[in-house]
């Protein structure tokens, strides 16, 4: 069954990949993006309505949502480092911005809203693997803003009957991420430009890295699965990868196994170890990751060679 879907942040990294998936499934898609970080060229040639605007403009979001069946809310300020430097801007984008989108969904009688949350930054420092029962203790303004947004999703589900689904992403990588600040983007650029790969800390910090196609399949399941309003689920691989292991995998993907690595002091606000189980997402939505890190990095590097370098 096809739907009319509003995607906020649809010109960003995950949004660009999701829009392509939704169109391939026959859905009608409208993208709302302010293009501060999103790229208009990522959507060129696609049969999609594109609206330039702010998620904080509740009247605009309400108007766009009037004839839609669902909203996928991806628009966000996603950098932990930037949130530490400017917590006010992060709060405005993530907490206030999500409230604005939820309020618009309420006014437009939207039946379902899928929200892109985060796992590691929201949970904070905890013994991994984490899951939906882990107690959130964010250590960065970014993590706190996503936790606040999740709380509003749950409150709007229970107060107004919106079928909200908050999906806690692992660290996402893949095509259309050339503008991002994540480790994989930074490492691949350093490899291409002949600069040492810079690692903040001793390299033992760990994350859960997921290829964007798997994330998009999880988002699609969030739109179609019969879930309790206010559901929270981790989209993860269940695999812990240290930053040093990631750097080695990037070096292998590029064919430069001996490329130099430089270690720098750790940065504040960043979680030391994190990976999550996806048991609940598998049980509730049938979600399961399909792309291994080695394969995903090879695909990502191929895209970078064609579109970035």
Q: What count of other Cβ atoms lies within 10 Å of the Cβ of residue 92?
A: 15
The DSSP output letter for 276 is B
Per the annotation, the verdict on 301 as an active-site residue is: no
Size (the chain), residues = 309
Number of helices (H), then strands (E), in the chain = 12, 13
Q: What count of other Cβ atoms lies within 10 Å of the Cβ of residue 135?
A: 8
Active-site residue (options: 42, 142, 211, 301): 142
In whole angstroms, what is the distance from residue 257 CA to residue 250 CA? 8
Task: List CB contacts of 274: < 8 A, sequence separation 6 or more.
Answer: 119, 120, 123, 126, 128, 130, 206, 207, 208
Q: Is 264 left (phi over 0), alpha (psi -120 to 50) or beta?
A: beta
In whole angstroms, what is the distance from residue 31 CA to residue 49 CA? 6
Please, are residues 10 and 76 in contact by the beta-carbon 8 Å criterion? no
What are the residue numbers of the active site? Answer: 142
């Amino acid at each position: 069954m096809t739907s009319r879907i509003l995607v906020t942040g649809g010109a960003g990294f995950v949004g660009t990949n999701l829009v392509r998936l939704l169109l391939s499934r026959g859905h009608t898609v409208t993208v709302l993006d302010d293009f501060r970080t999103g790229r208009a060229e990522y959507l060129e040639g696609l049969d999609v309505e594109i609206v330039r605007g702010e998620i904080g403009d509740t009247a605009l979001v309400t108007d766009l949502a009037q004839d839609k069946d669902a909203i996928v809310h991806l628009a966000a300020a996603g950098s932990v480092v930037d949130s530490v430097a400017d917590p006010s801007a992060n709060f405005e984008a993530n907490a206030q911005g999500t409230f604005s989108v939820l309020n618009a969904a309420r006014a437009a009688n939207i039946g379902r809203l899928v929200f892109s949350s985060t796992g590691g930054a929201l949970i904070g420092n905890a013994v991994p693997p984490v899951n939906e029962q882990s107690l959130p203790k964010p250590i960065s303004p970014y993590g706190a803003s996503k936790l606040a947004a999740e709380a509003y999703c749950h409150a709007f589900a229970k107060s107004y009957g919106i079928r909200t689904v908050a999906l806690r992403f692992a660290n996402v990588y893949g095509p259309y991420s050339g503008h991002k600040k994540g480790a994989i983007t930074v490492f691949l650029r350093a490899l291409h430009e002949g600069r040492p790969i810079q690692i903040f800390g001793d390299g033992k910090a760990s994350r859960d890295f997921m290829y964007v196609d798997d994330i998009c399949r999880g988002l699609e399941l969030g739109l179609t699965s019969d879930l309790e309003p206010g559901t929270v689920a981790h989209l993860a691989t269940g695999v812990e990868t240290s930053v040093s292991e990631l750097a080695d995998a990037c070096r292998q993907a590029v064919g430069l196994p001996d490329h130099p690595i430089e270690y720098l002091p750790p940065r504040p606000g960043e979680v030391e170890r994190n990976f999550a189980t996806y048991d609940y997402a598998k049980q509730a939505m049938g979600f399961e990751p399909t792309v291994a890190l080695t394969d995903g990095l090879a695909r990502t590097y191929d895209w970078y060679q064609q579109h970035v370098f």
